[in-house]
Amino acid sequence: MGKADFLSPKAISNRIKAKGLHKLRWYCQMCQKQCRDENGFKCHCVSESHQRQLLLASENPTKFMDYFSDELKSDFLELLRRLFGTKRVHNNIVYNEYISHREHIHMNSTQWETLTDFTKWLGREGFCKVDETPKGWYIQYIDRDPETIRRQEEQARKKKQELDDEERSARMIEEQVRKGREGKGTDETPLLVSEWEGFEAQREELVIWLADMDVRLTS
């Protein structure tokens, strides 16, 4: 199965079904407890443990919300990193993948109202690059792993070194061309001198020959 097939809505919904996530409606987010069915859920809701959690939550709702928000953020980012690396992807694809996990945090128990709110927040906080398109929001994981940063710096350093080397050899070639031009000028001078010397020698020969002729003609 190709990646496109793997991420198609049908494939995702099949995986959700396969994992029995229809049971999620009987999941108590606050206690993070999955109940078997409606009856089980009702029983859980009147249980002492649930009531205790409820009391704690009502006394300190922000603490619970912070906890769930933080969980959602870490799990979502981990999933994004694992599945897509730093590739740009539609937020819904990642979210569908995320909610296909049985133990996922429900958006309504977090500080965010919607997936869009959450996406914008990820962008604002610098966890992801986000951008809005007519088709919705896209996200891109920003890798802050020290090893990755080290590798990126190493690549940047190599790239700079290459550019420096290129610049240096370009300068050397330029220098050679310049020297070559000057050198050619000085090379040309002896050539001219030798030509001139040759010409001078010929002229002398001619003078001698003419003088000789003159002597013979006048004698």
The three state secondary structure string of 87-105 is CEEEHHHHHHHHHCCCCCC
- State the burial class of residue 72 (Cβ atoms within 10 Å of its Cβ: 0-12, 13-18, 19+): buried
Question: Which helix (DSSP H) or strand (DSSP E) does residue 208 occupy?
Answer: helix 146-218
Least Å distance, CB 66 to Zn ion, is 18
57 binds Zn ion (CB under 5 A): no
Closest CB to Zn ion among residues 23, 50: 50
β-bridge pairing 136-141 and 88-90? antiparallel
List the one residue from 7, 12, 21, 31 that touches Zn ion (CB under 5 A): 31
* Choices 43-51, 98-106, 145-153, 156-164; region in contact with Zn ion by CB under 5 A: 43-51
**Strand extents, DSSP E, 93-209:** 128-133, 136-141
* Choices 50-58, 139-147, 164-172, 209-217; region in contact with Zn ion by CB under 5 A: 50-58
Locate 101 and state its tokens.
Answer: 């996990």
Least Å distance, CB 101 to Zn ion, is 19
List the one residue from 8, 12, 15, 50 that touches Zn ion (CB under 5 A): 50
* Choices 26-34, 154-162, 174-182, 197-205; region in contact with Zn ion by CB under 5 A: 26-34
How far from the centroid of its chain's Cα atoms is residue 182's Cα? 49
Least Å distance, CB 59 to Zn ion, is 15
Closest CB to Zn ion among residues 52, 88: 52
Closest CB to Zn ion among residues 21, 30: 30
Q: Are 68 and 105 in contact (CB under 8 A)?
A: yes
At CB < 8 A and 24+ separation, what contacts does 117-120 make?
A: 118/72, 118/76, 119/91
Give the up-direction half-sphere exposure of residue 177: CA atoms within 13 A in the CB hemisphere: 6
Closest CB to Zn ion among residues 64, 137: 64
List the one residue from 7, 28, 57, 65 that touches Zn ion (CB under 5 A): 28
Least Å distance, CB 41 to Zn ion, is 9
Rg (CA), the chain: 42
Closest CB to Zn ion among residues 61, 85: 61
Least Å distance, CB 57 to Zn ion, is 9
Residues in touch with Zn ion (CB under 5 A): 28, 30-31, 50
